[in-house]
Amino acid sequence: MPLHQFHFNASISSSSSPFLAPPSAFNSFSSRHQNFSLPPRDLGICRCVATPQEAKTPTAYKTNVSRNANMGKLQAGYLFPEVARRRNAHKEKYPDAQVISLGIGDTTEPIPDVITSSMSKKCQALSTLEGYSGYGAEQGEKSLRAAIRSTFYADLGIDDDDIFVSDGAKCDISRLQVVFGSNVTMAVQDPSYPAYVDSSVIMGQTGQFQTDVEKYANIEYMNCTPENGFFPDLSKSPRTDIIFFCSPNNPTGAAATREQLTRLVQFAKDNGSIIVYDSAYALYMSDDNPRSIFEIPGAREVAIETSSFSKYAGFTGVRLGWTVVPKELLFSDGFPVARDFNRVVCTCFNGASTVAQAGGLACLSPEGLKAMHEVIGFYKGNTEIIMDTFNSLGFKVYGGRNAPYVWVHFPGRSSWDVFAEILEKTHVVTTPGSGFGPGGEGFVRVSAFGHRGNVLEACKRFRQLYK
């Protein structure tokens, strides 16, 4: 049954919508391999279109199950599959072009041997009597939890069992939303990683999308701009139950200072809020900012921290991350949040792959840490090249120093238009800022993951386009 030809909501115009969904909405799934082009395939999945008003064939059988109204609130597909869809369409249009992806933040460099060899060994061990293991603890292997604690949270009052190993931050964010339920209010930075808002919509925490302001009702969007140093004015922020905060920030690259985080923790304390602190890029920091929210006194009573091996170890496909829920974090009735998180982890999850966890342990060995830092250093080198390029072209450039993202300002222009222009004229994929929220309008995110040759080539093309 064909899934195309939905009726589009005519009020979403292409120039203002954060999630443009052109009519040819068939999408081959996003295989985000950077180094070969996908043959276009119609796999019968329509992924990023506005809500259809009616089924194509009215006589087709329908169940009596109402569609979850929350799903209906989502405007279109998740941001990155949409970027991938555009990239694939572009490749189809220009089959000979060498398309360079600096869009989706996907790692490209091989994983150091010390890490993959441990995963390889774990796979082989599964074929032996002594080495075979079945179900692991849903919270993760003890040794890995201990290694995460000692590597990232030493002397911060965090225990091994405050740490929950996962298959990645994106998944943890949704599990946290399941913990919080639909009756909580949420604040996000604007712009921010789309999973916070989208998962909130799915969970039923929000109202409808308001096309005039491009925000969902009932979410507090804390504007982060160059003018306020990418830190929200807390004095103007109303109280919400949950505050998502990402530092170093995706997409702006801003890293909050100790002073700023102290204010954030105080704000959360005064308001009885819970901070969900996303520190997935902490090791990219050049400046001397806190790597963990728990460096701030009092944070254990107000914050959860989530992180990932994705951008440190190139584990974007291997899938491994963690979330810290301190014992001191309590709901309004005194019930520990960690208990509910544990319950959700035990019922909605069955643990990260034991092979990935073996890799994680190797990552945190002295040799593994050293190797990870080298790869991170490589990507930081890419970031510098990109920053220098845009700086030399006279653009206002942000981020880059503390994160693998460069946040480039195109004042007065629609970010999807700039995205399209860059793609069309240089065959380089970026990510339009408005995909991260209305606060991202007028910006484009250039990610620094890529082979050095590709990054240099992309920058060469930028220089030609914008000279």
Partner 1 sequence: MYKLLICNSTLSDKLFDPGCLHTSFGIRKEKKDHYTNVPRNANLEKLPKGYLFPEISLRQHQHLEQHPDASLISLGIGDTTEPVPDIVTSRMADFASGLSTLEGYRGYGAEQGNKELRKAIAETFYKDVNVKDSEVFVSDGAQCDIARLQLLLGSRVTASVQDPSFPAGDLDHETGRYHRLEYMKCGPENKFFPDLRRTSSTDVIFFCSPNNPTGHAATRQQLEQLVKFAKDNGSIIVFDSAYATYISDDSPRSIFEIPGAKEVAVEISSFSKFAGFTGVRLGWTVVPSELCFSNGFPVIHDFNRVVCTCFNGASNIAQAGGLACLSSEGVRTRVNYYKENAEILLDALASLNIKAYGGQNAPYVWVHFPGMNSWEVFDMILEKANIITVPGCGFGPGGEEFLRISAFGHRESILEAARRLKALFS
DSSP reduced 3-state for 218: coil
Interaction of residue 419 with partner 1, rule CB under 8 A: no
Which alpha helices (H) appear in 155-232, and where do they start and end? 169-180, 194-203
Interaction of residue 350 with partner 1, rule CB under 8 A: yes
Which residue, 104 or 446, has its beta carbon nearer to partner 1? 104
Of 107-115, 251-259, 278-286, 433-441, the segment contacting partner 1 by CB under 8 A is 107-115
Which residue, 100 or 418, has its beta carbon nearer to partner 1? 100
Scanning residues 249 to 268, which ones bind partner 1 (CB under 8 A)? 268
Which residue, 111 or 361, has its beta carbon nearer to partner 1? 111
The answer to whether 190 and 223 have CB atoms below 8 angstroms apart is: yes
Distance CA 81, CA 103 (A): 11
Q: Residue 79 corresponds to which tokens in the numbers above?
A: 């941001």
261 CB-side CA count, 13 A: 29
Minimum distance from residue 347 beta carbon to partner 1 (Å): 6
Interaction of residue 144 with partner 1, rule CB under 8 A: no
Interaction of residue 129 with partner 1, rule CB under 8 A: yes
Interaction of residue 89 with partner 1, rule CB under 8 A: no
Q: Which of 9, 16, 37, 174 binds partner 1 (CB under 8 A)?
A: 174
* DSSP element (H, E) containing 146: helix 142-152
Interaction of residue 227 with partner 1, rule CB under 8 A: no
Scanning residues 177 to 216, which ones bind partner 1 (CB under 8 A)? 178-184, 194-195, 198-199, 202-204
Distance CA 405, CA 399 (A): 6
Distance CA 145, CA 324 (A): 10
Scanning residues 17 to 46, which ones bind partner 1 (CB under 8 A)? 29-34, 43-46
The answer to whether 258 and 296 have CB atoms below 8 angstroms apart is: yes
284 CB-side CA count, 13 A: 35
Interaction of residue 133 with partner 1, rule CB under 8 A: yes
CB count, 10 Å around CB of 45? Answer: 12
Interaction of residue 238 with partner 1, rule CB under 8 A: no
Distance CA 386, CA 398 (A): 11
DSSP reduced 3-state for 461: helix
Q: Residue 392 corresponds to which tokens in the numbers above?
A: 């030399």
Interaction of residue 272 with partner 1, rule CB under 8 A: yes
Interaction of residue 453 with partner 1, rule CB under 8 A: no
Interaction of residue 302 with partner 1, rule CB under 8 A: yes
Scanning residues 54 to 73, which ones bind partner 1 (CB under 8 A)? 54-55, 58, 60-72
Interaction of residue 274 with partner 1, rule CB under 8 A: yes
Which residue, 34 or 389, has its beta carbon nearer to partner 1? 34
